[in-house]
Amino acid sequence: MNMKESFFTGMIKFIYGINEPFDEFTSKVISEAANKVAFGLIIFLFVSIFVSLGIGNFYDSSNIAIGMIFADAIAVLIALTYMDIVVKRHGLDEYDYSNDSERKIAIRSFIIQNLITLVAIMTVLICFNLILGGHFDFILFVIYPIAFVISTYLGYRRNFK
């Protein structure tokens, strides 16, 4: 029986470089995790809408926008972390590459996953900087990305060389 996989399952396979089809248990685990993430994000969005409407009467709207961007970035980081834990717990990120094209797909997925993480973390750092009223520092935009790229390269060397 050839069933079409869901968008979320395809996204998980793309991000983690998984080329093989999931068995029934793994599909069930991924679907359950996806439902938890979706339900949590829906509740978060509804709560944040009403909180921002309530706070909007007391504070400047630009502060509320910065707070919402920060809260959304935190929610995305929590969702990505939860999915990363589920994938690692079931060993889906460990894959024996049978040929060079599968290895290249896994490397591309590794790079994409780390770029998403860098963008999310930079968004959180920018929001922290704006909320605390600081100036955009050299450390925030230069040192941290360089350190992240170096640690990503070391992770690449550990996983793919």
Burial of 126 (0-12, 13-18, 19+ CB in 10 A): middle
What is the pLDDT, as a whole number, of residue 129? 76
Q: What is the pLDDT of residues 50-91, one digit of tens each?
A: 888 888 777 777 777 777 877 887 888 888 888 888 888 887
pLDDT by residue for the chain (161 residues), tens digit each?
456 777 888 888 777 767 677 888 888 888 888 889 889 888 988 888 888 888 877 777 777 777 787 788 788 888 888 888 888 888 776 666 677 887 787 788 788 888 888 887 787 777 777 777 766 666 677 777 888 888 888 877 777 76
| Cα distance between residue 34 and residue 47, in whole Å | 20
> Is the Cα torsion angle 99, 88, 148, 40 positive or negative in sign?
positive
Contacts 24+ apart (CB under 8 A), 107-113: 107/17, 107/156, 107/160, 108/17, 109/14, 109/15, 109/16, 109/17, 110/17, 110/155, 110/156, 110/159, 110/160, 111/152, 111/156, 112/14, 112/15, 113/15, 113/16
